[in-house]
Amino acid sequence: MNNARTTSFSNNNNDNNNVSNPQKIGNPVNPHEEQQNSLLTRVVSHVQKLNDVMVEVTARLQEINEYNRDIVTLSQVWGNYTRNVGFNLESIQRLDDPK
């Protein structure tokens, strides 16, 4: 029974191919191929542009991180200085109460 279905399907398929086979009338196999290629080209170019922008963003973020490291270092130095001044003023008993 499976053979009958396969044969029947094959015969119907062959009949349809003879009537509307795109290769026989000179059309491309996929009528949307040109549009798909155009869209694929656009997607690839946009991905390349996105990649270039991401490289630029990464470089800017690295610069920002370097500046932030300098600020963190300065903040730590300032905090240590403030703590040391407070300790020294207390040790010589010259720390005035804030008003």
Structural domains of the chain, count: 1
pLDDT tens digits in sequence order for the chain, 99 residues long: 444 444 444 444 444 444 555 455 555 577 889 999 999 999 999 999 999 999 999 999 999 999 999 999 999 999 999 999 988 888 887 666 666
In a domain, 6, yes or no: no
Q: Which residue has the tokens 């491309």?
A: 28
Query: Is there a domain that residue 10 lies in?
Result: no
Question: Tokens in use for 76?
Answer: 């730590």
Q: Is residue 23 part of a domain?
A: no
Q: Is residue 97 part of a domain?
A: yes
* Structural domain span for residue 94: 36-99
Could you give the 3-state DSSP secondary structure of residue 5?
A: helix
42: tokens are: 């656009």
Domain presence at residue 61: yes
Task: Please check whether residue 22 lies inside any domain of the structure.
Answer: no
Instruction: From 14, 31, 32, select the one nearest 22 (Cα to Cα).
Output: 31
